[in-house]
Structure 1
Amino acid sequence: MTQFSVVIPTLNEADNIDPLLTSLFALNLPQDSFEVIFVDDGSKDGTPEKVRAWEKKAQVRLIERTEKPDLTASILAGAAQAQSDVIVVMDADLSHPPEQLSAVVAPVLNDSHDVSIGSRYIPGGRTEGWPLHRQWLSRIGGSLARPLCDVNDATSGFFAFRRELASTISGKAHGYKILLELLMAGQGTLKVVEVPICFRDRTRGTSKLSFHHQWAYLQRLLALSGGATIHNAGRVILIGLLCALIDIGLFQILKSNGAGLAAAHIGSFLAAATVFLAFNSGGLFRSRQTNQLQWPRLGRIAAVGSIAMLSRGGLLSLLVNTWQVAPLWAILTATVTSVIICYLGSIFYIFPPKDNRPTVDTRWRVAAIGIVPFIILFRLIYLGETQLIPDEAYYWNYTQHMDLSFYDHPPMVAWLIWLGTAIAGNNEFGVRIGAFICGLVTMGFLYALAKNLYDKSTGIRTVLLLAVLPFTFATGFLMTTDAPVIAAWAATLYYMERALIANRSSAWLGMGIAFGLGILSKYTLGLLGAAALLFVLIDPAARRWLIRPHPYLAALLALLLFSPVIIWNLEHHWSSIMFQSSRIRGVGDDEFSVHLMLVNLLVLLTPTGLIAALLALLPGNKHGTGEFAHRRMLFVCLFTGVPLGIFLVLSIFDSLRFHWTAPLWLAIIPTMAWMMGQNFSPRSFANRIQAAWKPTIALSIAVYALIMHYVVLGIPGIPYPELMNRYFWREATIEIEKIAADVQQQTGQKPLVVGMSKWSVASALAFYNQHGEPMDIRARNMFGDSGAMYEVWHPSEPPVTRPIILVSMARHHLEHGRAGNDISKHLDQPGPVHSLIITREGKPLRFVYYRIAQGYSGL
């Protein structure tokens, strides 16, 4: 009985037929266990004759096609006439080793797998004799497909599969990579295995691979990914080139006439976009069937266009303002970038094909492949372009007074900033690069957690959510204490799952390290310890860890890593521990704030994200299937619910900081991502939330682009609001330096500059004073108010007769202290309060208030 059929497509392979068949029939296999079917695509070198000579002496058949040569069509034609239910595909040029035929077909024959792939790119596989450029092209082709089909060698031509799977391949399939068609058609349902093979370059005949084949592969990969086909591509390209010329030319005209960078590039982009839409308005705005405006499409066009326009603003700022690139070259780069964004947004989001809808899983994978790298590059571009917020400047000041720990926070944030600035310099990029890396670490650990809890597809969607949710976007960008604690929280969750659910004893070592680094970042991570204890008490399988040494050794390791904080507190009368203990109830205003906490969560997670998270926490909600479904649900609910419950209770009695609850949502994000890929009833509430993710993600990215562009370059016609008084300290510091220089010139004494806030003003002035005349900077604690670490760095200031310059973000801070005490009684000859408008390119940014006195009389 024929167990499997070997289908071999041919085109001018006469020299290889005899050695190939000789090798195949010399294998240690029964002669009647397999058949060989050659499908010839019109060979002119005698290939059919060579095959016919073998038909009389072995199980060999020839099929001759008269249609246009196409590898996919040839293989399908051979599979259709096969006598067996298992098909093996291989090339005729002996590049696929016949001696490994048995290894490739065995997993399908024994019913353990649906598809078996002879792979060059797994351990044990290799390629011999190929030139370097062919190896790179193959690697790139496989890498492009790998995120979609989860195999290392998706472009392999040597594979086995069940014949019934051929019917799932699209009728539009064409090209030379039928394996990709097969894998994508059965996405998520096939059991696939890769078997290592040694691929050798042909020694006879010539390769049929050409640029046309490679281009066809890319087009087909795009179509399988859910990308739309552009009709009248030539016309669209010509119009696009015209619009690009309009964009570049108008930008140059506006810049040469004195327009700012923002006004020039926004004006030129809008003009070019208007021309493009005018030429293509026929099918963009109105339905051809009803002639009604297509409002959803208009919204998608606006979202993609705004993302393209605003995103390139950061790139222009980096090229022109930071790297000093000529504006012409900068706008060329920016235009290409915006064209790519618009093109990809159009084919995948604005005009998704209706007749070629990939699975939900594939669509989200494609979204992740496009969005996650975009967000990473977006952050990277803006890291050094956006100025520090005062919190970041304050933590940078930690590095100027390095210690084992600090009064109001553990030392991890200082260590990361010290390392970043040591490598990249004392600039915004150097301060923030640690946050950027923490964001990548968070993605890595949460991807692994989601993959362990659910599957790889859920892991990919988890990374997508981490890229776009507001709280993880911000913590992967701003260098505050939240950046390392988010990364450590994700790592701790990963090792907790490995220890408590997977029962890996070695995971306790990782958990001890992650937990120790986490509490070196922020004490909030200790809430995971309470959640872990509750899980162990509830879950019978995990309860055995109570009588084993691993958890206690992990706790000891975490305590050892935390020892710098303990030593610092011993030396400073436990001031940090006492300060943090006083903050347990909140910020100290004794106000009911559950409603405010809800508002904070809407901002941190977006409304869609918050509803999805709460839906995932509902009692009775299933968290997948399988042996560990119940334990998975318990893990997710406890590690989210315990911290959330504690914060809810605290919010009843006091207000909480805006960002305190951010890390606790990491445990539920994998479940939210899992729900995104499920097939819910079309009218169910869960299905509506699932559908809401697309506009939520698009709107979030557009908002990030708008905010970043606004703070770096501004938006023409939109002034900065009063809340920006906490920002633009680079320009403000320049003005304060001028005032200090004038006072020193008039009095002959260097003034003492005092930031009249707890730490914000003094810290921002200190960071942005690096390039001017160094100023002697203090904080408001010299007047008896709280100054956080400034109370340690400058615990007191004796009376001085040199001038004092008080600087504040608000007028009243220069008249009265926080406790209402009169500032004037501590000053000699205090002058009036002055306001100073900070401008950039003639446009107002913010106000700064200052007051000059002739001396300080002490407390």
Structure 2
Amino acid sequence: MQFSLIIPTLNEADNIDPLLTSIFSLNDLGNQFEIIIVDDHSADGTPDKIKQWQRTHNVHLVERNAHQPDLTASIIEGVAVAKYDVVAVMDADLSHSPEKLAALIQPVLANQYDITIGSRYIPGGDTIGWPFYRLWLSRAGGWLARAICDVNDATSGFFAFRKEFIHRITDNARGYKILLELLMTGGNQPLRVKEIPIHFRNRLHGTSKLSLSHHLAYLQQLIILAGGTISFHTASRFAIVGFLGVFIDVFIFQWLTGQGASLATAHISSFIAAASFNYTLNSKWSFRLHHAGHLQWNQFSRFLIVGIFAMLLRGAILAWLVYTWNIATEWAIFPAIIATAIVNYLGSAFYVFPRTKPAASTDTHWRIAAIGIVGFVILLRLVYISVAQLIPDEAYYWQYAQHMDLSFFDHPPMVAWLIWLGTTLAGHNEFGVRLGAFASGLIAMGYLYTFACNLYDKSTAMRSVLLLAIVPFGFAAGLAITPDAPLVAAWAATLYYLERALLANRSQAWFGVGIAFGIGILSKYTLGLLGIAALIFILVDATARYWLRRPHPYLAVLIALILFSPVIIWNIENDWASFAFQTTRVGKVHHELSTHKLLLQIAIMLTPVGLVAAAFALRSVTLSYCQREEVRKALFIIIFTGVPLAVFFVASVFGPLRFHWTGPLWLALIPTMAWMIGKRDQFKHAVNWLNTAWQPMIIVSLLTYAFILHYATLGIPGLPYQFLNEHYFWKEATAEVEKISDEIKQVTGETPVVVGMSKWSVASALAFYGNSHPPLEIRSRNLFGEHASMYSYWYPDESSIHQPILLVGMKPRALEKAGSPSENLENKLVNPGKINSRIIYRHDGIVLRTLYYRIAEGYRGSSINTDKRLSPQ
């Protein structure tokens, strides 16, 4: 073998003889290799030991006399004098086994790979004798590096590569991890890399050269290679500027709150003032090497985008600290400033003032964007699930958990089980109710990532998770606790296991299919469409038909049926009410062509750019199938996207659909949409333009979500709550209802029955936010003979009520009619009063909404047969 072996040394005198003896005793290396030992000014006689070997063997000594030892610089100097095209590197401390040299070098010599790595962290590799903290630090370093490269052990010191790649390393490359620099030299053309398992042993002689400064340098190296401008120099200056900005921020915030300004007004005003000050100094001082010296509108617009993100996130943190933890506003502002300073700094380093030389590859930029955006979305969800009030839908499903059953009229029980678990762990508050949605969002991301990895590659998988985080159906599924939250997670899991079973032919994956599918139909019946798609794929694909003769798919069906059995039992006990309701929903209201509405709904669920991208992605996989390129993968994507989509298109011919029904079906296609973003040069101009459009679409989507959540929680100065005045702010409205109830009790001596005049929204919201003791007796409109979903089961119709009745509605007309459009409430109520209204204010005086109510002395009774509760209306 013709190769050059480079061994950097620093005070390794005790290890030179055993190391070189073992290398030269290996027969499989031949005798046409050279060893270049680069000594970094050792003081223990290491050069003398090397010179002794130099006289008798093909060993060359290179002595560095630099002021500071540097592993990367030593290797670069060694490569400069190497005479062979293939170079290997190993440590001198006997931690790397020379027996693995041949396996490491041969693939590069044969031009099968560009770089080979002796890996401790793949099957067959391990680390022996290291203390726990060293092992943890090494693992953490490798894990962090995986953000920008696709290897498990990017911190390995045992590797081989083609000599030409050393010239691509930047001139300022320094530190102890040159392998990371090599891995990033491919740019937009990924290198061929292979990892070979090794047994890494702790050194027996000498001391380790690694210190805290080396770990910090490694982190800086990672950030530089990722395209950031983070360094101690810029960080220290940024911190100084930020510290000065804090004085401006806090002074204005405290002054405004002292003047009675709302929390939103105070924090937004103080943030804008401080951010303007910080930008001026940062652009001219902290990041001046990356600033043109004059105002650049492109750079300034990026600064505004990052600033708005930070400001909206700060509002969430403030609301969380003030409203959830009851921390005084004058103290809550400080942790909020710290949190958003981190967002500002990272945004400035990677987005506003990014490193241009050396420029990170497009693939690396998308990876870093995926990490930053997904992290922002997760943080946004985590904060707002605690501070944002429940929407009535969430309160209704909370009622499920208060009336636990095997299933429910309008949905299977999974959402109730998640809420029960969340509230058991965290209490009956917004966080406890939504905890299951947050966990479901993380599960969906994890399964989509592995699914996309299997179909394409890691970069595509990261972009897939990014798309899931920013499209409306994906963002909402991890925030609001509705049946769609566990459905999206189960849909992603089912796709993953089906791909492993049908494409990878893994028999054990069928058990995952059964469990994921069973959980999915316990979440929402819609997931049954994947079962139809799976059957069609097995019948169409010749390879997959093999499974018809094997027991595994049938076991999967059995597992799913066992998991689904509570729903079946409930339907048997209730005259198949839920199944009848779900099968008659489509086209029941208006028998009209609604395909155009379906397209609009898809555009809402995917964003307009996402809709166009989905169309191109479907076209791309269809062309791949027709051209016999990766046929089975293309067929899988076509069927598992096309079958559910076709069902919804057919259904839209007969009537309108709910706007969110189509959301999960796109999970099978999102990896292809993400793959197209990374392959823009392979497509025509229209697709390249579409890929460019993703960047502003992502920014607009995130800003929209953050803006809406901030608006709903803290408000936006100058923007009234006219868009939420019917369906939201039930916490404050419930307090007013309880006040009205107390007024009625003072006059009549009896506590009224409160009736929410909607199917379930008003009654559920009042029940969740009620604080009176004893709690109010709350009913829904089914009291008057109208269908009210599960309220028709929980509170059947009564013949009459002799205590006062307090009707509460979102609109005045809801308090006028009941039973049928022509039937007035006056015929059912005893001495009904007029329809009244009250303005609901927030604690700081902001107008939130109008509450409509009506008071009667009693209820005469309903002539509607109670069996009507089983009707699928």
TM-score category of the 2 structures, normalised to the smaller one: over 0.9
**CA displacement 1:541-592 (0-9 Å, x = unmatched):** 2234445444344334323322222221121112112111210226x13343
Distance 2:76 2:760 in 1: 72
Counterpart of 1:34 in structure 2 is: 33
Q: Which moved more, 1:26-35 or 1:424-433?
A: 26-35
1:450/1:670 contact within 8 Å kept: yes
Name the aligned partner's letter for residue 409 of structure 1.
H
Counterpart of 2:404 in structure 1 is: 402
Distance 2:287 2:75 in 1: 43
Q: Which moved more, 1:742-751 or 1:227-236?
A: 227-236
- 1:8 partner SS: strand
1:682/1:174 Cα in 2 relative to 1: closer, same or farther (>3 Å)? farther
1:286/1:293 contact within 8 Å kept: no
1:162/1:292 Cα in 2 relative to 1: closer, same or farther (>3 Å)? closer
Where in structure 2 are the equivalents of 1:191-340 lying within 5 Å? 191-228=192-229, 235-280=237-282, 294-340=296-342
1:834/1:851 contact within 8 Å kept: yes
Distance 2:520 2:593 in 1: 29
2:291/2:353 contact within 8 Å kept: no
Task: For residue 667 of structure 1, report the CA deviation from its aligned partner.
Answer: 1.1
Counterpart of 1:703 in structure 2 is: 704
2:316/2:383 contact within 8 Å kept: yes
Tell me, yes or no, if structure 1 residue 719 matches structure 2 residue 683.
Answer: no
Distance 1:790 1:501 in 2: 46
Task: For residue 37 of structure 1, report the CA deviation from its aligned partner.
Answer: 0.4
% identity of equivalent residues: 57
Tell me, yes or no, if structure 1 residue 729 matches structure 2 residue 730.
Answer: yes
Name the aligned partner's letter for residue 856 of structure 1.
Y
Counterpart of 1:441 in structure 2 is: 443
Counterpart of 1:358 in structure 2 is: 360
**CA displacement 1:6-34 (0-9 Å, x = unmatched):** 20123344444334323433445567243
2:290/2:354 contact within 8 Å kept: no
Task: For residue 722 of structure 1, report the CA deviation from its aligned partner.
Answer: 4.1
Task: For residue 280 of structure 1, report the CA deviation from its aligned partner.
Answer: 5.0
1:15/1:204 contact within 8 Å kept: yes
Distance 1:637 1:833 in 2: 55
Task: For residue 826 of structure 1, report the CA deviation from its aligned partner.
Answer: 0.6
Name the aligned partner's letter for residue 9 of structure 1.
P
**CA displacement 1:431-477 (0-9 Å, x = unmatched):** 11111111122112222211111122211211111122111110111
Name the aligned partner's letter for residue 209 of structure 2.
K
Q: Taking structure 1 as the reference length, what is the TM-score of the superposition? A: 0.93
Counterpart of 1:855 in structure 2 is: 858
Name the aligned partner's letter for residue 764 of structure 1.
A
Task: For residue 57 of structure 1, report the CA deviation from its aligned partner.
Answer: 0.9
Tell me, yes or no, if structure 1 residue 115 matches structure 2 residue 118.
Answer: no
- 1:275 partner SS: helix
Counterpart of 1:24 in structure 2 is: 23
Distance 1:539 1:521 in 2: 29
- 2:117 partner SS: strand
Distance 2:126 2:535 in 1: 49
Distance 1:637 1:123 in 2: 34
Distance 1:428 1:474 in 2: 15
Task: For residue 408 of structure 1, report the CA deviation from its aligned partner.
Answer: 1.2
Name the aligned partner's letter for residue 378 of structure 1.
L
Distance 2:178 2:530 in 1: 48
1:5/1:87 contact within 8 Å kept: yes
Where in structure 2 are the equivalents of 1:416-815 lying within 5 Å? 416-585=418-587, 588-618=589-619, 622=623, 629-680=630-681, 684-770=685-771, 772-815=773-816
Task: For residue 91 of structure 1, report the CA deviation from its aligned partner.
Answer: 2.2
Distance 1:623 1:240 in 2: 53
Task: For residue 98 of structure 1, report the CA deviation from its aligned partner.
Answer: 4.1
1:637/1:842 Cα in 2 relative to 1: closer, same or farther (>3 Å)? same
Could you say what the CA RMSD is over the residues aligned between the two structures, in angstroms? 2.9
Task: For residue 776 of structure 1, report the CA deviation from its aligned partner.
Answer: 0.6
* Equivalent residues, number: 857
Tell me, yes or no, if structure 1 residue 11 matches structure 2 residue 13.
Answer: no
1:237/1:508 Cα in 2 relative to 1: closer, same or farther (>3 Å)? closer
Distance 2:130 2:565 in 1: 56
Name the aligned partner's letter for residue 532 of structure 2.
A
- 1:819 partner SS: strand
1:454/1:624 contact within 8 Å kept: no
Distance 2:309 2:377 in 1: 11
Distance 2:537 2:194 in 1: 36
Distance 2:587 2:737 in 1: 38
Counterpart of 1:411 in structure 2 is: 413
1:488/1:330 Cα in 2 relative to 1: closer, same or farther (>3 Å)? same
Q: Which moved more, 1:306-315 or 1:78-87?
A: 78-87
1:170/1:185 contact within 8 Å kept: no
- 1:73 partner SS: helix
1:650/1:627 Cα in 2 relative to 1: closer, same or farther (>3 Å)? closer
**CA displacement 1:76-107 (0-9 Å, x = unmatched):** 22123223333221223334344554454455
Q: Which moved more, 1:544-553 or 1:739-748?
A: 544-553
Unaligned 5+ segments in structure 2 are 863-873
Counterpart of 1:71 in structure 2 is: 71
Task: For residue 361 of structure 1, report the CA deviation from its aligned partner.
Answer: 2.0
Counterpart of 2:866 in structure 1 is: none
Counterpart of 2:158 in structure 1 is: 158
Distance 1:49 1:509 in 2: 64
2:586/2:657 contact within 8 Å kept: no
**CA displacement 1:657-710 (0-9 Å, x = unmatched):** 111111111111011111111142697111112122222222222222111111
1:119/1:197 contact within 8 Å kept: yes
Unaligned 5+ segments in structure 1 are none
Task: For residue 612 of structure 1, report the CA deviation from its aligned partner.
Answer: 0.7
Q: Which moved more, 1:383-392 or 1:237-246?
A: 237-246
Distance 2:423 2:772 in 1: 15
1:626/1:73 Cα in 2 relative to 1: closer, same or farther (>3 Å)? farther
Counterpart of 2:142 in structure 1 is: 142
1:143/1:782 Cα in 2 relative to 1: closer, same or farther (>3 Å)? same
1:258/1:807 Cα in 2 relative to 1: closer, same or farther (>3 Å)? same
Distance 1:601 1:96 in 2: 55
Distance 2:27 2:288 in 1: 66
Name the aligned partner's letter for residue 460 of structure 2.
T
1:224/1:798 Cα in 2 relative to 1: closer, same or farther (>3 Å)? same
Distance 1:564 1:419 in 2: 18
1:129/1:201 contact within 8 Å kept: yes
1:30/1:454 Cα in 2 relative to 1: closer, same or farther (>3 Å)? closer
**CA displacement 1:136-192 (0-9 Å, x = unmatched):** 433332221123222222112122223233233333422221100111213663333
1:233/1:565 Cα in 2 relative to 1: closer, same or farther (>3 Å)? closer
Distance 2:442 2:432 in 1: 16
1:573/1:553 Cα in 2 relative to 1: closer, same or farther (>3 Å)? same
- 1:618 partner SS: helix
Name the aligned partner's letter for residue 349 of structure 2.
I
Distance 1:732 1:51 in 2: 84
Distance 1:445 1:626 in 2: 29
- 1:777 partner SS: strand
Task: For residue 289 of structure 1, report the CA deviation from its aligned partner.
Answer: 12
1:38/1:78 contact within 8 Å kept: yes
- 2:740 partner SS: helix
Q: Which moved more, 1:835-844 or 1:180-189?
A: 180-189
Counterpart of 1:53 in structure 2 is: 52
Task: For residue 273 of structure 1, report the CA deviation from its aligned partner.
Answer: 0.8
Distance 2:744 2:416 in 1: 34
- 1:148 partner SS: coil
